[in-house]
A and B are shown apart, each in its own frame.
Chain A
Amino acid sequence: MGSVVSAAVPFLADALVVLGVFVMTVGVYGAIRMPDTYTRLHAMSKAVFLGVVSLCVSSAVTGDPQVIFRVALIAAFLIVTTPISAFVIARAAYLRGESVEAPGPVSEPGKPPEDN
């Protein structure tokens, strides 16, 4: 049983690498497909970050404790900071009055959008 698990671990790492690269590909495709900054935020920050976390898990599966600690630190730091980066970029775009190009925008209460 233990030998079966230890034989399956490299294939699990390969599958996680393929999954991470695929998710990052989806994020980069969203970067060139989406019309404006607010919709690009979805693809770029979330998908690319999830791809990096998948690569982190794949190198933690096969690694020794040094690798596992460093990778867990990177993943935890990215989990904390990616929403902050996305929020700050969206706030900058909103304060500069970037228009919404996606169909069917809704104006929320507060400061109305300048032009769309």
Chain B
Amino acid sequence: MHEVVFYLAFAWMTVLLVVSVAAVIRLRSTAGRILALDMTTLMLVALLILYADANRSSYYLDAALVLSLLAFLATLALARYHGERRIF
């Protein structure tokens, strides 16, 4: 039963990932696209956490941590460059 829950969660999270990638492509404002890219990376982090939880392995959590760090830095740099034309 727990495997069924995890498989359904994987499938539905993949659908959500596809929808958020489509939001990155389809949105018209650049700030909205940066926001959708941030959401896409959070989806990937959630998928990695779910995968680590299903496999009882803690190595994927390191990848999830590094991915969330990189997503934060990328969002910060992109949004500051978009807003005030400089990063620092």
Identify the A interface with B (CB < 8 A).
Answer: 10, 13-14, 17-18, 20-21, 24-25, 27-28, 31-32, 36-37, 40-41, 44-45, 48-49, 51-52, 55-56, 58-59, 62-64, 66-67, 70-71, 73-74, 77-78, 81, 84-85, 88-96, 98
Which residue of chain B has the shortest Cβ distance to A61 in the bound complex?
Answer: B53
For B64, the chain A residues whose CB sits under 8 A away are: 70, 74
Closest to A27 in B: B39
Complex CA gap A59/B2 in Å reads 13
How many A-B pairs with Cβ below 8 Å? 146
Enumerate chain A residues within 8 angstroms of B39, measured Cβ to Cβ: 27-28, 31, 44-45, 48
Contact residues of B with A, CB < 8 Å? 1-2, 5-6, 9, 12-13, 16, 19-20, 23, 29-32, 34-36, 38-39, 42-43, 45-46, 49-50, 52-53, 56, 58, 61-62, 64-65, 68-69, 72, 75-76, 79-80, 82-84
The verdict on A55 contacting B49 (CB below 8 Å), with A31-B23, A77-B68, A85-B79 known, is: yes
Q: With contacts A59-B50, A74-B49, A85-B75 known, what are 18 further pairs, Cβ within 8 A?
A: A21-B13, A24-B16, A31-B36, A36-B32, A37-B32, A41-B35, A44-B36, A45-B35, A52-B42, A55-B49, A70-B58, A70-B61, A74-B61, A85-B38, A89-B34, A92-B34, A93-B29, A96-B83
Q: Which residues of A contact B20 (CB under 8 A)?
A: 28, 31
Output the nearest chain A residue to B61 by Cβ-Cβ distance. Answer: A70
Q: Are B83 and A88 in contact (CB under 8 A)?
A: yes
Closest beta carbon of chain A to B51's beta carbon, Å? 10
Task: Tell whether, in the assembled complex, residue A85 and residue B62 are in contact, meaning their CB atoms are under 8 Å apart.
Answer: no
- The residues of A that contact B43 with a CB separation of less than 8 Å are 24, 48
